[in-house]
Structure 1
Amino acid sequence: MRIAHLGHAAVLVETEAARILIDPGAFSTDWHGLTDLDAVLVTHQHPDHLDPAALPTLLAANPSAKVYVEPSILLQVQSGDLPSLGDAQALAAGEQTTVGDVLVTAGGGRHAVIHRDLPGIGNVGYVLRSAGEPTFFHPGDSYDTVPSGVDLLAVPAYGPWAALKETIDFVRAVGALEGFPIHDELLNDRGRGLVRGRLDAMTSTRVVDLRGGVTHQF
């Protein structure tokens, strides 16, 4: 399994028979211009995970890509709050789909609480499994779901909904062999280094830095 972190929450996952992009949001442009995608997955409606301006262009350049989104996103498309996402399908918590040789399982259901005065929204994390490959988990914006058997974890490094103590406990609970920080565009390099250092020192997960377009073979 080859993994590329394309900025903030955007992650490209490649296996022998699948090329999957997760969370193409507005805090990154590294995913712009991608082609030959088999699927695009979106964890929730926030623009740092779903760029309403650039995503339609990406989908037009990948007409055969399947699009799976957290269910409330389709309601926003129907109301006109989001542009058309083509033949996008909802993938709710507990549901599965197959993309090439990859089984995608959605989990969770709710975005982490930012503040009690803000309305809650949906969020699904995605577990990607393929025979002979590591199992990968992208949680979106929530630490509530802890799937079993995860080898590789995308770790939200910072968000207005999380504290470092929660991040450490989440990584410990998942217990992945390896991980890499995502959701980091609100941090400077000093902050990124602090989070990586704490995770390395206080969890059993080996943390890899994939910034700068590095593709890592897991």
Structure 2
Amino acid sequence: MKITKFGQCCLLIEVGGKRILTDPGKYTVAQNLVSDIDLILITHEHTDHLHVESIFKILENNPDAKIVTNNSVAKILEKSGIDCEVIEGRSTGEVCSVSLVAYDGKHEEIFGDFGIVQNTGYLIAGKLFYPGDSFIKPEEKVEVLALPVAGTWCRSVDAIAYALEVKPNKAFPVHDWFLNDDGITLFYGLFSKHLGVNNIGFIPLKNGETGEF
């Protein structure tokens, strides 16, 4: 599995000859230029994960790409005339020959009920778990975890505890677009230290970088 991090939570995942794009939000533009995309996964409706204008551009470049998401996002896409398939709850499915297991829940709390929306994480190809903006724990053994590390809802102590609970073989950071270079050095060092001593390999994947998993 090869993973390229465009930024925030927008990833290009290459596995089994398929190319999967996650959460094309408004804070990244690299996704608007990619081709040969088979599948687009969207975890929730916040604009750093869903940017409809970007979806139109991606589909212009990849007219055969399939979109998988939850019901909340589907309603938004359908208003714009964009077709999608809903896989949510604890449903399983296979789209473009890629196995998906949904883990449905709510966005983690920011403050009170502000920003609380449906959030669906996905176990992708039986290997990578991408939770979106949630600390939901999958039942399956996870080889690779896309780990949220910072944000209005995400404390380091909670993110580290979540990784220790999931116990992946490896983890890499997502949800970190607002960290400057010093912040990245600090946060990545913190996670590398505390996950490493617990036998979880932390891969400090930065924006624009590609990792082999």
Judge same fold: TM > 0.5, yes or no. yes
Superposed CA RMSD: 1.6
Q: Are 1:162 and 2:154 counterparts?
A: yes
Residue 18 (structure 1) aligned with residue 15 (structure 2) = no
Match of 1:67 in 2: 67
Check conservation: 1:10, 1:24, Cα contact below 8 A: yes
State whether residues 149 and 173 of structure 2, in contact with CA within 8 Å, keep that contact through their aligned partners in structure 1.
yes
Q: 1:120 pairs with 116, 120, 123, which one?
A: 116
1:94 and 1:27 mapped to 2: Cα distance? 29
| Counterpart check, 1:177 vs 2:172 | no
State which of 85, 89, 97 in structure 2 corresponds to 1:93. Answer: 89
Query: Would you say the 8 A contact 1:2–1:217 is kept in 2?
Result: yes
Q: Is the 8 A contact 1:92 1:106 kept in 2?
A: yes
Given that 2:137 and 2:165 are in contact with CA atoms closer than 8 Å, whether structure 1 keeps it comes out as no
Report the counterpart of residue 110 of structure 1 in structure 2.
Answer: 106
1:206 to 201, 206, 211: 201
Matched, 1:217 2:209: no
Structure 2: where are the runs of 5+ without partners?
Answer: none
Distance 1:119 1:51, change over 3 A: closer
Q: How far apart are 1:29 and its partner, in Å?
A: 1.2
Q: Report the counterpart of residue 4 of structure 2 in structure 1.
A: 4
Equivalent AA in structure 2 for residue 213 of structure 1: G
The one-letter amino acid of 1:200's match is: S
Aligned length in residues: 210
Question: Aligned residue for 2:41?
Answer: 41
What do the CA deviations read for 1:72-116 (whole angstroms, capped 9, x no partner)?
1122345x4xx332x212111211221344211110321111111
Alpha-carbon distance in structure 2 between the residues aligned to 1:77 and 1:6: 22
Q: In the aligned structure 1, how far is the partner of 2:133 from the partner of 2:207?
A: 22
Q: Higher helix proportion, which one?
A: 2
Quote the Cα distance in structure 2 between the aligned partners of 1:160 and 1:20.
27
5+ residue gaps in structure 1?
A: none
| Amino acid in the other structure paired with 2:81 | S
Paired AA for residue 93 in structure 2? T
Give the deviation of 1:119 after TM superposition: 5.4
Matches within 5 A, 1:53-64: 53-64=53-64
In structure 1, give the amino acid aligned to 2:51. Answer: D
Q: Counterpart in 1 of 2:183?
A: 191
Give distance in 2, aligned partners of 1:7 and 1:119: 21
Q: Distance in 2 between matches of 1:55 and 1:152?
A: 26
TM-score normalised by L of structure 1 = 0.90
**Contact map agreement 2:52 2:77 (CA 8 A) in 1:** no
Question: Which amino acid counterpart does residue 118 of structure 2 have in structure 1?
Answer: G
Q: Which of 42-51 and 95-104 deviates more?
A: 95-104
Asked if structure 1 preserves the Cα contact closer than 8 Å seen for 2:12 and 2:19, the reply is: yes
Alpha-carbon shift at residue 173 of structure 1 (Å):
0.8
Distance between the aligned counterparts of 1:45 and 1:200, measured in 2? 30
Segment drifting more, 162-171 vs 110-119: 110-119
